Amino acid sequence: MKREPVKYALLVAVALLAPLYFSGGYLMNVLVFVGINTLLVVALNLLLGFAGQISLGHAGFFGLGAYISAILTATHQVNPWLVMLIAALAVSALAFLIGFPVLKLKGHYLAMATLGLGIIIYIFFNEAVDITGGPSGFSGVPNLSIGALVFDDDVKNYYLVWSFTLVVILLAVNLSRSRIGRALRAIHDSEVAARVMGVNVRLLKVQIFALSAFISALAGSLYAHVMTFVAPASFGFHFSVELVTMVIIGGLGSVYGSLLGAALLTLLPEMLRAFQDYDIIIYGLILILATMFMPGGLVRGIPAVLAAILPKKQERG
């Protein structure tokens, strides 16, 4: 019995039908951002979960995608879909080039280099006022459209973003089960062993870094068109750390885990809003407790919890 297609079909069905429940409410709007964050977390998980390479600068790639889309479409009136492609290609080319020196580094040096990269990009957004509008942001980004269909409300944006998200999830699942996925996991376990087995470790790491940047930039372009406004504060060091948190809380190396991590940490602040000033304390506590009791992330923790609650099911398996 092939479980993978069933799982994916289920996800598609849930994603397509969700608006029937939430339509009209603002939760719809939050779900749009869950979709964008899922794209980012899947992208980072390819790097961190599969290849075992940390990046503390992914918010930078996300931001580059967003700013390139915003500036080219609003200031220079280029076709937004074309810009989206240009942005993704440009950002992944950049990642490819800097990937060679950066991914030569290991452990905390890699963390430091990617962190530095993210901060340099952030400072550029903030300081290049003539191009980016500086700290107060850049407004007037048009909505995306196909013919007469303009993606200007939450439901339309939801379908727009989630069609990208679902495609990327499918690609990532397939990638992880392919030869490349196995090679990546080999790198994760031992680079030397992978090299001995004939994997071009250096090139593969850089390629996956570029792919990860490509998806992040795509998410950035979508973000810019959904928000119609971009500001540097959305692409700072914090957001990079938040993305790493989403990957780990969801489950390292699991594509569906990425979805869970992104969904939980995007929805959580909304659920905690009722606690007002206490919300960040509860948020911090949940992070600690989730990691303590679900060290493998939600994707492994939830089945374990279910199994504990429903002991019968375990016997059958």
Partner 1 sequence: MKRIALLAIALLLVAGLVPALAAQAPIRIGALFAITGPASFLGEPERNTAQMVVDEINAKGGIKGRKVELITYDTQGDATKAKQLVNKLIKNDKVSAIVGPSTTGETMAILDDAEKAGIPLISCAAGSKITDPVRKFVFKTAQNDSLAVARIYEYLKKKKMTRVAVLTVSDGFGSSGREQLKAQAANFGMQIVVDDTYAPKDTDMTAQLTKIRGSQAQAVICWGTNPGPAVIAKNARQLGLKLPLFMSHGVSSRKFIDLAGDAAEGIILPSGKVLVADLLPKKDKQKQSLMAFVKDYQGHFKAEGDHFGGHAWDATMLLRQAIERGGDAPAAIAAELEKTRNFAGIGGTFSFSPRDHAGLTKDAFVLVEIKNKDWVLVK
Partner 2 sequence: MNLSDQIIQFLLSGFATGAIYALIGLGFSIIYNSTGIINFAQGEFVMLGGMVTMFFLTSLHLPLPAALVGAVAITTVVGVLFERLAIRPIRKPTPLNLVIITIGGSILIRGLAMLVWGKDTHAIPGFSGEEPIQLGNASLLPQHLWIFGITTLVIIVSKVFFNYTISGKAMRACAFNPRAASLIGIDVRRMVLFSFIISSAMGSMAGFIIAPLTMTSYDVGIMLGLKGFCAAIIGGMSSGLGTVFGGIILGILESLGAGLISSGYKDAVAFVILLLILFIRPQGIFKRADSERV
Angle between helices 237-250 and 107-127 (to 10 degrees): 140
Per partner kind, with CB cut-offs from 5 to 8 A, the member of partner 1, partner 2, none near residue 187 is none
145 binds partner 1 (CB under 8 A): no
Interface with partner 1 (CB under 8 A), residue from 105, 126, 159, 180: 126
277 binds partner 1 (CB under 8 A): yes
Size of the site for partner 2 (CB under 8 A): 44
Candidates 40-48, 59-67, 128-136, 283-291: pick the segment binding partner 1 (CB under 8 A): 128-136
Binding to partner 2 in span 204-263, by CB under 8 A: 237, 241, 244-245, 248-249, 252
Interface with partner 2 (CB under 8 A), residue from 29, 174, 283, 300: 283
Nearer to partner 2, 125 or 138 (CB): 125
Q: Min. distance of Cβ 288 from partner 2 in angstroms?
A: 4
Q: CA angle, corner 228, sides to 222 and 229, nearest 5?
A: 105
- Contact string (CB under 8 A) for partner 2, positions 94-123, x = contact: -------xx-xxx-xx-xxx-xxx-xx--x
Nearer to partner 1, 117 or 231 (CB): 231
Per partner kind, with CB cut-offs from 5 to 8 A, the member of partner 1, partner 2, none near residue 262 is none
Q: Min. distance of Cβ 26 from partner 2 in angstroms?
A: 25
Q: Min. distance of Cβ 280 from partner 2 in angstroms?
A: 4
Size of the site for partner 1 (CB under 8 A): 28
SS (H, E, C) the chain: CCHHHHHHHHHHHHHHHHHHHHCCCCHHHHHHHHHHHHHHHHHHHHHHHHCCCCCCCHHHHHHHHHHHHHHHHHCCCCCHHHHHHHHHHHHHHHHHHHHHHHCCCCHHHHHHHHHHHHHHHHHHHHHCHHHHCHHHCEECCCCCEECCEECCCHHHHHHHHHHHHHHHHHHHHHHHCCHHHHHHHHHHHCHHHHHHCCCCHHHHHHHHHHHHHHHHHHHHHHHHHHHCEECHHHHCHHHHHHHHHHHHHHCCCCHHHHHHHHHHHHHHHHHHHHHHHHHHHHHHHHHHHHHHHCCCCHHHHHHHHHHHHCHHHHHHC
Per partner kind, with CB cut-offs from 5 to 8 A, the member of partner 1, partner 2, none near residue 109 is partner 2
Binding to partner 1 in span 210-249, by CB under 8 A: 227-229, 231, 233-234
26 binds partner 1 (CB under 8 A): yes
Binding to partner 2 in span 121-150, by CB under 8 A: 123-124, 126-127
Binding site for partner 2 (CB under 8 A): 54, 101-102, 104-106, 108-109, 111-113, 115-117, 119-120, 123-124, 126-127, 190-193, 237, 241, 244-245, 248-249, 252, 277-278, 280-281, 283-288, 291-292, 295
